[in-house]
């Protein structure tokens, strides 16, 4: 059960990171409208999701060693 939950969390975080990074790239290319606030919020969301992915990875390794 816990592996399925961790797997679902990883898939969700990857999807959030990909969506945020595509929005940032779209803003950088000038194809999507938006303000600097939306750019910053998408960038912050991408950074936080990658950080959470790394924490999930670290905790899963520590739990496997037990």
Position 1 scores a pLDDT of: 53
Q: Where are the domains of the chain?
A: 2-65
Q: What digits encode the pLDDT tens for the residues 7-65? A: 899 999 999 999 999 999 999 998 888 888 999 999 999 999 999 999 998 988 888 88
Distance CA 52, CA 33 (A): 28
Q: What is the pTM of this model?
A: 0.82
């Amino acid at each position: 059960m816990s592996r399925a939950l961790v797997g679902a969390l990883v898939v969700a975080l990857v999807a959030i990171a990909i969506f945020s990074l595509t929005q940032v790239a779209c803003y950088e290319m000038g194809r999507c409208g938006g303000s600097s606030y939306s750019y910053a919020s998408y960038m912050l969301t991408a950074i936080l999701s990658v950080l959470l992915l790394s924490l999930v990875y670290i905790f899963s390794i520590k739990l496997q060693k037990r």
